[in-house]
Structure 1
Amino acid sequence: MKQTDDLSDVIKLISDIKHKNIQSSHDVAIRTEKMLDNIISQGKWDSALELMELIKQRIKCFSQSLPDEPTASNIMKHILKVIRTECQSMSKKTGDTHSLHQIVTGDATHELDYSETVSNLKSVLLGYLSEYKEELESSAENIAAQASEHIHSNETILTVGRSRTVERFLKSASKQRMFSVIVVEGAPSYLGHSMASALTKNNIQTTVIPDSAVFAMMSRVNKVIIGTHTVLANGGLRALSGIYVVALAAKHYSIPVMVLSHMYKLTSLYVGSNDHETFNVHASPASVIPYSSGSILNSVNIKNPVFDYVPPELVTLFITHQGGNVPSYIYRLLSEMYHPDDYDM
């Protein structure tokens, strides 16, 4: 094989994420697409197998360095699925046939010889990446365009912290609807304050409440609309810390919980009800209790989790650029995005 061990492109991406040079998942997605474009157009590969190996090397490198940031790995796994699909399509065009049993069971793709040189694979993949880049850039706009279908006049919407996608969604709805928003401040980051500021500048009636007031205010709410860090394979969420409590309160009052998510946040990771702590990340406890508190710090054990696990039964609807889907449909979206052979690496 002509594959190279030069992983400088993915190492640079990892470094930029760690040093906060790029922070939003959208920016990570755009950078990953650009990296894949360079690999396909300039990388040393002749066959689909060699190209897939180059991409897999980067997935493993990224996953080991940033296991809690799945966006880049998800996009690379999606491109692996595209490569497999294109090879299968080209194989059919050249006259290769498969039995009905192979097609039904999915064994047909395993019969393909990915080590064979495919003349126009590069141009086909670059064309797909060009379209995929447009999809990434328009994804937030397409999600926001659905706002008026889900938000009605005189409703009260509750959200948590600050999500750019939710912010854009609410601003889009405000062009056609009059409604009010309750923003949970999301301690200890208090990103809800900046969210409220952004909404009021758009003339949306906004109220900020502390996390402790969620249950008391939930009875006045018509819908909960939130963003998420990751959509898990079972339809659950890895979301901002504090959202689990909000989802439980919404469940108690039978308030629908809508999750706005880009497709690249959908991951093949499955988390059971008893092991959700294993995927969490803990930030410095200094934002919860300052070091200046003195000797009391020797007597307490402080945890500051970044994420909450929200089980699928607490989610009503996922809204992506493709439309709305219930949590039980996530398995179908997963099969469309990734190939089963690439789920675990």
Structure 2
Amino acid sequence: MSNPKDPQFMAEQLVSKLKRRQLTGSMAISLETVKVLRQIVSVGRWHSEEVLIQRIKQVGARLVAAQPKEIIIGNVVRRVLCLIREAQANLHKHQSTQDLQSLAMDGTANRPPQFSTQSSMSTLFGDEATEAGPMTAGTPSRNYPLETSSPPSLVHQIKSDIIQAIQDFIEEQEDMYRNIATQSMEHIHSNEVIMTCGRSKTVELFLKHAAKKRQFKVVVAESAPFYHGHEMALALANASIDTTVITDSAVFGMMARVNKVILGTSAVLANGGLITISGTQLIAEAARHHSIPVVVCAGLFKLSPVFPFDEDSLNTCVAPDAVLNFSHGDIVSKVDVISPFYDYVAPEYINLFITNQGGHPPSYLYRLLEENYDAEDTYLVKA
């Protein structure tokens, strides 16, 4: 019988869930992925950091292959790899510092005391004839062995550091909603009209937190043909927020009355572009035409080092029955209906990113990428 805590078994279970789409939502996928990688670090057998990195890359490549369109999986794998490299560098730096300090203390402690035989008068007149003579033969050597207790195994020490870093990463994700929501008072003011589309839990909690002390109105685009905007509007209305649902075709006409656009996203690419629900591009273009600021609420784990060289490869097409089903008769066999689930929004349409570490303009994303990822892990599988 398979051990449910075995890393290999957990990885296979996650691959199966991803292939069958039994696991949906960025947060759920991210937490499941990082827990599998944490189990590989804590339970798996490895004797060096290089072996661990290669094992994480192999498992990460399998998870990405199971659901290539879920960019979050690759983000989490690269983030864990960066944490491993940081723990390795910190430990080696700490050991190097300790070695230098030990050598310095060893050289100072084992040097015999030398007393000057010169008198103060001879020093005054520069008499060098009375300088101290050479050391005697009984002088102790400077190369004494250090009398310190043997340190724990390097692998054991770095393993505990990596596990703690991964646990901090998990807690950061779990607190992501709260950390973003607490910034709402700085961006939402009284009597504003805010537009959004679809349903994003991050945006929903962001607006609900602001509604505790602010009075404002929200306009929600229904996001046909999936109508996630209806669910969003219902959730906001239940929180006593003045909410209006509009059709997607009415976005441009309503934009002139809007003060701010707040959007959620599935992923943020390296150039600042968004992979988000279909219909968002229409809102972004209308906002740019009317000079309305566009704010995106997203956790840092959604930031990806991948550039959109081929935008279509990052999209997902779903069944078109919501647009045109078989009840329409003969027309079904005469047309091809493409129903994309995501939109790509270029970075020039975005004014501000609100993350769990504060607000950042799109031009600052390169710095966040350097802080959260290592350039060697951009490609999990080398070509």
Specify the alignment match of 1:320 in structure 2. Answer: 355
1:271 aligns with 2:304: no
Deviation at residue 7 of structure 1 after TM alignment: 4.1
1:291 aligns with 2:326: yes
> Is the contact made by 1:14 and 1:65 (CA closer than 8 Å) also made in structure 2?
yes
Deviation at residue 19 of structure 1 after TM alignment: 3.3
Specify the alignment match of 2:12 in structure 1. Answer: 11
Deviation at residue 21 of structure 1 after TM alignment: 3.2
* Residues 268-300 of structure 1 deviation map (CA, whole Å, 9 limit, x = unaligned): 11014xx31222111011111112212101221
Shift in alpha-carbon separation, 1:217–1:199, aligned structure 2, 3 A:
same
The 2-side partners of 1:20 and 1:141 are apart by: 27
Specify the alignment match of 1:342 in structure 2. Answer: 377
Deviation at residue 312 of structure 1 after TM alignment: 0.4
Gaps of 5+ in 1: 97-115
* Residues 201-225 of structure 1 deviation map (CA, whole Å, 9 limit, x = unaligned): 0100000001110000000000000
Deviation at residue 161 of structure 1 after TM alignment: 0.7
Gaps of 5+ in 2: 1-5, 98-152
The 2-side partners of 1:71 and 1:7 are apart by: 21
Q: Secondary structure at the match of 1:118?
A: helix
* Residues 110-167 of structure 1 deviation map (CA, whole Å, 9 limit, x = unaligned): xxxxxx9534011111111222221111111100010111000000000001001100
Q: Secondary structure at the match of 1:188?
A: coil
The 1-side partners of 2:38 and 2:61 are apart by: 18
Deviation at residue 79 of structure 1 after TM alignment: 1.2
- Correspondent of 1:244 among 272, 281, 287: 281
The 2-side partners of 1:55 and 1:61 are apart by: 10
Q: Secondary structure at the match of 1:95?
A: helix
Specify the alignment match of 2:32 in structure 1. Answer: 31
The 1-side partners of 2:15 and 2:257 are apart by: 43
- Correspondent of 2:182 among 137, 145, 164: 145
> Is the contact made by 1:160 and 1:226 (CA closer than 8 Å) also made in structure 2?
yes
> Is the contact made by 2:15 and 2:62 (CA closer than 8 Å) also made in structure 1?
no
The 2-side partners of 1:336 and 1:24 are apart by: 25
Specify the alignment match of 1:257 in structure 2. Answer: 294
1:74 aligns with 2:75: yes
Code of the residue aligned with 1:282 in structure 2: it is C
The 2-side partners of 1:93 and 1:325 are apart by: 33
Specify the alignment match of 1:61 in structure 2. Answer: 62
Specify the alignment match of 2:143 in structure 1. Answer: none
Q: Secondary structure at the match of 1:154?
A: coil
- The equivalences for 1:1-345 within 5 A come to 7-95=8-96, 118-272=155-309, 275-345=310-380
Q: Secondary structure at the match of 1:219?
A: helix
Code of the residue aligned with 1:309 in structure 2: it is Y
> Is the contact made by 2:34 and 2:80 (CA closer than 8 Å) also made in structure 1?
no
Code of the residue aligned with 1:148 in structure 2: it is M
Q: Secondary structure at the match of 2:257?
A: coil
> Is the contact made by 1:223 and 1:258 (CA closer than 8 Å) also made in structure 2?
yes
> Is the contact made by 1:225 and 1:258 (CA closer than 8 Å) also made in structure 2?
yes
> Is the contact made by 1:155 and 1:179 (CA closer than 8 Å) also made in structure 2?
yes
Deviation at residue 56 of structure 1 after TM alignment: 0.3
> Is the contact made by 2:265 and 2:296 (CA closer than 8 Å) also made in structure 1?
yes
Deviation at residue 27 of structure 1 after TM alignment: 1.2
> Is the contact made by 1:46 and 1:117 (CA closer than 8 Å) also made in structure 2?
no
The 2-side partners of 1:168 and 1:49 are apart by: 41
Deviation at residue 15 of structure 1 after TM alignment: 2.2
The 2-side partners of 1:14 and 1:157 are apart by: 39
Code of the residue aligned with 2:330 in structure 1: it is S
Deviation at residue 17 of structure 1 after TM alignment: 3.2
Q: Secondary structure at the match of 1:328?
A: helix
Q: Secondary structure at the match of 1:238?
A: strand
The 2-side partners of 1:46 and 1:95 are apart by: 20
Identical columns (%): 43
> Is the contact made by 2:261 and 2:294 (CA closer than 8 Å) also made in structure 1?
yes
